[in-house]
Protein backbone atom coordinates (compact mmCIF):
# COMPACT_ATOMS: atom_id res chain seq x y z
CA UNK A 1 0.00 0.00 0.00
CA UNK A 2 1.30 3.46 -0.86
CA UNK A 3 1.27 6.34 1.56
CA UNK A 4 -1.39 8.05 -0.56
CA UNK A 5 -3.86 5.20 -0.32
CA UNK A 6 -3.69 5.14 3.48
CA UNK A 7 -3.95 8.86 4.03
CA UNK A 8 -7.71 9.37 3.82
CA UNK A 9 -8.06 12.72 2.10
CA UNK A 10 -5.37 12.36 -0.52
CA UNK A 11 -2.57 13.70 1.68
CA UNK A 12 0.51 11.82 2.76
CA UNK A 13 0.22 9.69 5.88
CA UNK A 14 1.91 11.52 8.79
CA UNK A 15 5.04 9.73 9.98
CA UNK A 16 4.20 9.83 13.69
CA UNK A 17 1.36 10.54 16.08
CA UNK A 18 -0.39 13.91 16.23
CA UNK A 19 2.18 16.24 17.80
CA UNK A 20 1.95 19.41 19.87
CA UNK A 21 5.06 21.59 20.10
CA UNK A 22 4.68 24.33 22.68
CA UNK A 23 6.81 27.45 23.13
CA UNK A 24 6.34 29.01 26.58
CA UNK A 25 8.07 30.86 29.41
CA UNK A 26 6.35 28.42 31.81
CA UNK A 27 7.16 24.90 30.61
CA UNK A 28 6.06 23.48 33.98
CA UNK A 29 2.48 24.33 33.00
CA UNK A 30 2.53 21.33 30.58
CA UNK A 31 1.07 18.77 30.38
CA UNK A 32 -0.75 20.07 33.50
CA UNK A 33 -4.34 18.82 33.40
CA UNK A 34 -3.65 17.12 30.05
CA UNK A 35 -1.65 14.55 32.02
CA UNK A 36 -4.88 13.25 33.58
CA UNK A 37 -7.86 11.45 32.25
CA UNK A 38 -8.31 10.40 28.64
CA UNK A 39 -5.84 12.94 27.22
CA UNK A 40 -3.19 11.72 29.70
CA UNK A 41 -3.84 8.07 28.86
CA UNK A 42 -3.59 8.91 25.17
CA UNK A 43 -0.28 10.65 25.81
CA UNK A 44 1.07 7.62 27.71
CA UNK A 45 -0.13 5.31 24.97
CA UNK A 46 1.58 7.39 22.27
CA UNK A 47 -1.70 8.40 20.56
CA UNK A 48 -0.37 11.96 20.59
CA UNK A 49 2.88 13.55 21.68
CA UNK A 50 3.83 16.75 23.46
CA UNK A 51 7.13 18.63 23.28
CA UNK A 52 7.65 21.79 25.29
CA UNK A 53 10.41 24.36 24.85
CA UNK A 54 11.29 27.17 27.27
CA UNK A 55 11.44 30.44 25.33
CA UNK A 56 13.98 31.78 27.84
CA UNK A 57 16.49 29.21 26.55
CA UNK A 58 16.62 31.29 23.34
CA UNK A 59 17.60 34.54 25.08
CA UNK A 60 21.14 35.51 24.15
CA UNK A 61 22.16 38.30 26.56
CA UNK A 62 23.70 37.67 29.97
CA UNK A 63 20.47 38.47 31.85
CA UNK A 64 18.55 36.06 29.61
CA UNK A 65 15.97 38.79 29.01
CA UNK A 66 12.96 37.89 26.92
CA UNK A 67 11.03 41.15 27.07
CA UNK A 68 11.40 44.92 26.90
CA UNK A 69 9.26 48.04 27.35
CA UNK A 70 6.67 48.83 24.63
CA UNK A 71 7.98 51.37 22.13
CA UNK A 72 5.74 54.41 22.12
CA UNK A 73 5.12 53.96 25.82
CA UNK A 74 2.41 52.21 27.78
CA UNK A 75 2.17 49.68 30.58
CA UNK A 76 3.87 46.30 30.91
CA UNK A 77 6.41 44.58 28.73
CA UNK A 78 6.53 43.11 25.23
CA UNK A 79 8.21 39.84 24.25
CA UNK A 80 11.26 40.48 22.08
CA UNK A 81 11.05 39.49 18.40
CA UNK A 82 14.60 38.10 18.23
CA UNK A 83 14.08 35.75 21.16
CA UNK A 84 10.65 34.55 20.03
CA UNK A 85 11.94 34.12 16.47
CA UNK A 86 14.82 31.93 17.62
CA UNK A 87 12.37 29.76 19.57
CA UNK A 88 10.11 29.44 16.49
CA UNK A 89 13.15 28.56 14.35
CA UNK A 90 13.83 25.62 16.67
CA UNK A 91 10.49 24.05 15.69
CA UNK A 92 10.24 25.05 11.99
CA UNK A 93 10.35 21.45 10.88
CA UNK A 94 7.69 20.34 13.34
CA UNK A 95 4.23 19.53 11.97
CA UNK A 96 1.15 21.74 11.81
CA UNK A 97 0.22 25.40 11.75
CA UNK A 98 1.97 27.87 14.03
CA UNK A 99 -0.68 29.24 16.39
CA UNK A 100 -0.24 32.23 18.68
CA UNK A 101 -2.73 32.31 21.54
CA UNK A 102 -4.06 35.83 21.99
CA UNK A 103 -7.39 37.51 22.76
CA UNK A 104 -6.89 39.37 19.43
CA UNK A 105 -7.12 36.13 17.49
CA UNK A 106 -9.82 34.25 15.62
CA UNK A 107 -12.32 32.84 18.12
CA UNK A 108 -11.83 29.13 18.64
CA UNK A 109 -14.87 27.01 17.81
CA UNK A 110 -15.55 23.32 17.29
CA UNK A 111 -15.06 23.62 13.52
CA UNK A 112 -11.50 24.94 13.99
CA UNK A 113 -10.88 22.28 16.66
CA UNK A 114 -11.91 19.58 14.17
CA UNK A 115 -9.64 21.10 11.51
CA UNK A 116 -6.66 21.02 13.89
CA UNK A 117 -7.43 17.44 14.92
CA UNK A 118 -7.51 16.37 11.26
CA UNK A 119 -4.01 17.77 10.67
CA UNK A 120 -0.61 16.39 11.73
CA UNK A 121 -0.22 18.55 14.83
CA UNK A 122 0.10 22.09 16.14
CA UNK A 123 2.91 24.44 17.08
CA UNK A 124 1.71 26.72 19.86
CA UNK A 125 3.28 30.00 20.90
CA UNK A 126 2.25 31.17 24.37
CA UNK A 127 2.70 34.86 25.14
CA UNK A 128 3.16 36.51 28.49
CA UNK A 129 3.22 40.13 29.58
CA UNK A 130 1.39 42.45 27.17
CA UNK A 131 2.13 40.23 24.18
CA UNK A 132 4.64 39.55 21.39
CA UNK A 133 6.30 42.09 19.06
CA UNK A 134 4.09 42.27 15.94
CA UNK A 135 7.01 41.90 13.50
CA UNK A 136 7.76 38.32 14.44
CA UNK A 137 4.05 37.41 14.10
CA UNK A 138 4.06 38.92 10.59
CA UNK A 139 7.39 37.41 9.57
CA UNK A 140 6.40 33.89 10.67
CA UNK A 141 2.84 33.97 9.28
CA UNK A 142 1.33 33.06 12.60
CA UNK A 143 -2.33 32.09 12.98
CA UNK A 144 -3.69 34.04 15.95
CA UNK A 145 -6.35 32.22 17.97
CA UNK A 146 -8.41 33.31 20.99
CA UNK A 147 -10.23 30.97 23.36
CA UNK A 148 -12.81 33.60 24.32
CA UNK A 149 -13.58 37.27 24.77
CA UNK A 150 -11.72 37.69 28.05
CA UNK A 151 -8.10 38.27 28.97
CA UNK A 152 -5.95 35.56 30.55
CA UNK A 153 -2.60 36.33 32.14
CA UNK A 154 -0.82 34.36 29.43
CA UNK A 155 -1.30 31.94 26.58
CA UNK A 156 -0.60 28.78 28.59
CA UNK A 157 -4.15 28.24 29.87
CA UNK A 158 -5.48 29.00 26.39
CA UNK A 159 -3.06 26.46 24.87
CA UNK A 160 -4.22 23.83 27.39
CA UNK A 161 -7.85 24.55 26.50
CA UNK A 162 -7.12 24.28 22.78
CA UNK A 163 -5.10 21.08 23.18
CA UNK A 164 -7.75 19.45 25.38
CA UNK A 165 -10.45 20.17 22.79
CA UNK A 166 -8.30 18.81 19.93
CA UNK A 167 -6.75 15.78 21.62
CA UNK A 168 -10.08 14.29 22.68
CA UNK A 169 -11.02 14.08 18.96
CA UNK A 170 -7.90 12.12 17.98
CA UNK A 171 -8.54 8.50 16.98
CA UNK A 172 -8.46 6.20 19.99
CA UNK A 173 -8.31 8.91 22.66
CA UNK A 174 -11.99 8.95 23.51
CA UNK A 175 -13.37 5.48 24.13
CA UNK A 176 -16.87 6.15 22.89
CA UNK A 177 -16.91 7.74 19.44
CA UNK A 178 -20.70 8.20 19.65
CA UNK A 179 -20.44 10.61 22.55
CA UNK A 180 -18.35 12.91 20.36
CA UNK A 181 -20.99 12.83 17.65
CA UNK A 182 -23.89 13.66 19.99
CA UNK A 183 -22.40 16.39 22.13
CA UNK A 184 -22.72 20.17 21.95
CA UNK A 185 -21.88 21.87 18.63
CA UNK A 186 -21.64 18.71 16.53
CA UNK A 187 -24.82 19.81 14.76
CA UNK A 188 -24.54 23.45 15.70
CA UNK A 189 -26.76 22.92 18.76
CA UNK A 190 -26.02 22.87 22.48
CA UNK A 191 -26.44 19.44 24.03
CA UNK A 192 -29.71 18.18 25.54
CA UNK A 193 -29.79 17.77 29.37
CA UNK A 194 -28.46 14.54 30.86
CA UNK A 195 -29.86 12.33 33.63
CA UNK A 196 -28.78 9.19 35.44
CA UNK A 197 -30.05 7.04 38.32
CA UNK A 198 -31.75 7.35 40.73
CA UNK A 199 -34.85 8.09 38.67
CA UNK A 200 -36.31 9.98 41.63
CA UNK A 201 -33.97 12.27 43.58
CA UNK A 202 -35.04 14.77 46.23
CA UNK A 203 -38.55 14.76 44.83
CA UNK A 204 -37.28 15.39 41.28
CA UNK A 205 -38.32 12.85 38.66
CA UNK A 206 -36.31 12.07 35.53
CA UNK A 207 -38.35 12.87 32.36
CA UNK A 208 -40.62 9.87 31.77
CA UNK A 209 -39.57 9.39 28.12
CA UNK A 210 -36.01 8.51 29.19
CA UNK A 211 -37.32 5.49 31.08
CA UNK A 212 -39.55 4.34 28.22
CA UNK A 213 -36.92 2.34 26.36
CA UNK A 214 -38.34 3.83 23.16
CA UNK A 215 -35.20 4.91 21.30
CA UNK A 216 -36.91 6.93 18.59
CA UNK A 217 -39.00 8.88 21.13
CA UNK A 218 -35.87 9.52 23.23
CA UNK A 219 -34.01 10.76 20.17
CA UNK A 220 -36.82 13.14 19.24
CA UNK A 221 -37.17 14.43 22.81
CA UNK A 222 -33.43 15.08 23.03
CA UNK A 223 -33.41 16.89 19.72
CA UNK A 224 -36.31 19.12 20.86
CA UNK A 225 -34.50 19.85 24.14
CA UNK A 226 -31.26 20.69 22.32
CA UNK A 227 -33.14 23.07 20.03
CA UNK A 228 -34.94 24.72 22.95
CA UNK A 229 -31.80 25.31 25.03
CA UNK A 230 -29.93 26.63 21.99
CA UNK A 231 -32.78 29.00 21.05
CA UNK A 232 -32.99 30.36 24.61
CA UNK A 233 -29.29 30.61 25.47
CA UNK A 234 -27.53 31.16 22.17
CA UNK A 235 -29.56 33.14 19.64
CA UNK A 236 -26.39 33.42 17.54
CA UNK A 237 -26.06 29.63 17.18
CA UNK A 238 -29.82 29.25 16.78
CA UNK A 239 -29.91 31.64 13.83
CA UNK A 240 -27.08 29.79 12.11
CA UNK A 241 -28.74 26.44 12.79
CA UNK A 242 -32.02 27.60 11.24
CA UNK A 243 -30.16 28.88 8.20
CA UNK A 244 -28.31 25.62 7.62
CA UNK A 245 -31.56 23.69 8.15
CA UNK A 246 -33.28 25.78 5.52
CA UNK A 247 -30.40 25.23 3.10
CA UNK A 248 -30.80 21.48 3.66
CA UNK A 249 -27.44 20.88 5.38
CA UNK A 250 -29.11 19.48 8.48
CA UNK A 251 -32.04 17.07 8.37
CA UNK A 252 -34.82 18.02 10.70
CA UNK A 253 -34.99 14.64 12.48
N1 LIG B 1 -4.00 35.02 26.10
C2 LIG B 1 -4.59 35.86 26.96
N3 LIG B 1 -5.91 35.82 26.85
C4 LIG B 1 -6.20 34.92 25.88
C5 LIG B 1 -7.38 34.46 25.28
N6 LIG B 1 -8.58 34.88 25.66
N7 LIG B 1 -7.29 33.54 24.30
C8 LIG B 1 -6.08 33.12 23.89
N9 LIG B 1 -4.93 33.52 24.42
C10 LIG B 1 -4.97 34.42 25.40
Point out the ligand 1 atom lying closest to the alpha carbon of residue 145: 8
Q: How far, in Å, is the centroid of ligand 1 from the Cα of 155? A: 5
With vertex at residue 18, the alpha carbon angle to CA 116 and CA 91, rounded to the nearest 5 degrees, is 90
pLDDT-derived band at 252, boundaries 50, 70, 90: low
* Pocket flag, ligand 1, residue 92 (CB < 6 Å): no
Higher pLDDT, 10 or 197: 197
Q: What is the pLDDT of residues 99-145, one digit of tens each?
A: 999 999 999 999 999 999 999 999 999 998 899 999 999 999 999 99
* Pocket flag, ligand 1, residue 24 (CB < 6 Å): no
**What is the average per-residue pLDDT within 167-180?**
83
Higher pLDDT, 104 or 13: 104
> Distance between CA 209 and CA 223 in Å, rounded?
13
Residue 29 pLDDT exceeds 60: yes
Residues 183-246: name the CATH superfamily: tRNA(m1g37)methyltransferase, domain 2 (1.10.1270.20)
* Pocket flag, ligand 1, residue 155 (CB < 6 Å): yes
pLDDT-derived band at 58, boundaries 50, 70, 90: very high
pLDDT of res. 14: 61
Q: How far, in Å, is the centroid of ligand 1 from the Cα of 163? A: 14
Q: How far, in Å, is the centroid of ligand 1 from the Cα of 146? A: 5
Q: How far, in Å, is the centroid of ligand 1 from the Cα of 132? A: 12
> By alpha-carbon position, which residue is closest to atom 2 of ligand 1?
152
HSE value, Cβ hemisphere, 13 Å, CA-based, for 202: 0
In 65-189, at which residue ranges do the beta strands (DSSP E only) sit?
Answer: 67-68, 78-79, 98-107, 121-126, 131-132, 143-146
The pick from 100, 144, 146 for probing ligand 1's pocket by mutation, whose C-beta has the most ligand atoms within 8 angstroms, reads 146
* Pocket flag, ligand 1, residue 42 (CB < 6 Å): no
Tally Cβ neighbours within 10 Å of residue 156: 23
Q: How far, in Å, is the centroid of ligand 1 from the Cα of 108? A: 10
CATH class for the domain made up of 18-167: alpha beta
pLDDT of res. 179: 63
* Pocket flag, ligand 1, residue 146 (CB < 6 Å): yes
Q: Which pTM does this prediction carry?
A: 0.91
What percent of the chain lies above the pLDDT cut of 90? 86
With contact defined as beta carbons under 8 Å apart, do 22 and 52 qualify? yes
* Pocket flag, ligand 1, residue 152 (CB < 6 Å): yes
Fold: same for 18-167 and 183-246: no
Residue 183 pLDDT exceeds 80: no
Domain boundaries, the chain: 18-167, 183-246
Amino acid sequence: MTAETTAGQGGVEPSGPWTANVLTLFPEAFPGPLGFSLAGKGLERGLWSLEVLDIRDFARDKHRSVDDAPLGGGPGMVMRPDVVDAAIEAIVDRPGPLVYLTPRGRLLDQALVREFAAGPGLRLLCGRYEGVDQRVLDAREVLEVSVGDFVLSGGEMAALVLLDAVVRLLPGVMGNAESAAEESFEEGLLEHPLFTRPALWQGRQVPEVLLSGHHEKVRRWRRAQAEEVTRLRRPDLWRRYLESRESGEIDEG
